[in-house]
Amino acid sequence: MPITNAMVLAAGLGTRLRPVTDTLPKPLVRIAGKPMIDYVLDLLAAAGVTRAVVNVHHFAGQMEEHLGRREVPHILISDERDALMNSGGGLAKGLKLLDGGPVLVMNADLFWIGEKPRQPCNLKKLAEFFDSERMDMALLCVRLEDTTGHNGKRDFSLSEDGRLTRYEEGMENPVVYAGAIAMDAALLADAPDEAFNLNIYFDRAIARGRLFGLMLEGHWITVGSPEAIAEAEAAIRRFRPEG
């Protein structure tokens, strides 16, 4: 079924991108002339998302001003000015601004290009793939060779039936977590109010056999350092030579 609610995790300090992030938040760093968070929000809008929560902390005022100019999706701000909540705590806090039900979750510092025209986009396919009866979460995954800016770490092993387990050396079908999740907001109903890492819920789901993965089509880009900006722009030129 289509998923119309989303959350974008955008409150990090962007320390590895200094000095660029000494004057602006990481999600507003421009890649090929476009702020990273706009790549993310455009992907969500193309998938049918109409409301998206975005959490803010670092240069929160700049984030609010920029996001206030967007019409689609409609943006709700989860304010973390007082304290960063880490990935899990930030997600749990932000989800309280939505009505519950299925939700797409994305990180603000990664996106992908090269989706096939006139075909369902990756996030639509992820939403259709997610089945709350069998899954706690469905993660979008990508092959290492289809990434730019990644540190080379393989995160999971993807089995033939779609289940994910933590990758260990020698395992078959290693994949990189592409930073997008389909899940039901009720999964975090028992979450603590303080900061915590979302990996806790990944590991719980693995233990229950309820963490699943879907492979991304296209090329995945993450930007974690000043040098990675040029690498990301080069990848965009390769996939969009007309631009």
- Quote the CA–CA distance of 7 and 89 in Å, as a whole number: 13
Lowest mean pLDDT among 131-145, 185-199, 228-242: 228-242
Mean pLDDT of 120-139: 97
Mean pLDDT of 132-154: 95
Whole-number pLDDT of residue 129: 98
The CATH number of the domain where 183 resides is what? 3.90.550.10
What average pLDDT is seen over the chain?
Answer: 94
Q: What pTM was estimated for this model as a whole?
A: 0.95
Tell me the residue range of the domain where 80 lies.
5-239
Count of structural domains within the chain: 1
pLDDT digits (tens, 9 = 90+) for 86-126: 999 999 999 999 999 999 999 999 999 999 888 999 999 99
